[in-house]
Amino acid sequence: MIQFCGYFGKLTNCSCIEVKIWDLYWGLTIAFEKGYKDLSIETDSQYAIDMLKGNIEVTFPLRSIVGDSKFLIQRCGYSIQHVKREGNKSADILAKMGTNQNEVLVVMNDPPKEIRGQ
């Protein structure tokens, strides 16, 4: 049985790549805490994937969060792949929900009405 787990939140004063890395880190951390193994993680940021795979040098302030993300990917057997933004409408809707949110992170165990049926 497939279970839903989604999240969104608000980051301020971040570059686009910082937002992508935080997004991946939160997803990896939530999946780890829920005990999920062998997941396929999707992102529309090839640059973030290259950072996680060590193809691009990571500098401060992202060095530690990228390192923690790499650890979770290896420990839990996760794979990461690139998808076009249009290929994941649910993630795009959750990201937009985060812009209207005051909390840094909101985790949901049921899909919000905005993405049911996506």
pLDDT for 42 beyond 60? yes
| pLDDT (0 to 100) of residue 26 | 93
Question: Band of the pLDDT at 2, cuts 50, 70, 90?
Answer: low
pLDDT for 1 beyond 60? no
Environment class of 75 (CB within 10 Å of its CB; exposed 0-12, middle 13-18, buried 19+): exposed
Q: Which of 36, 27, 16 is nearest to 77 (CA)?
A: 36
pLDDT for 23 beyond 60? yes
Q: What is the maximum span of the chain, computed from C-alpha positions, in angstroms?
A: 40
Q: What is the pTM of this model?
A: 0.83
**Residues sharing a CB contact under 8 Å with residue 17, sequence separation 6 or more, in sequence order:** 45, 47, 48, 51, 62
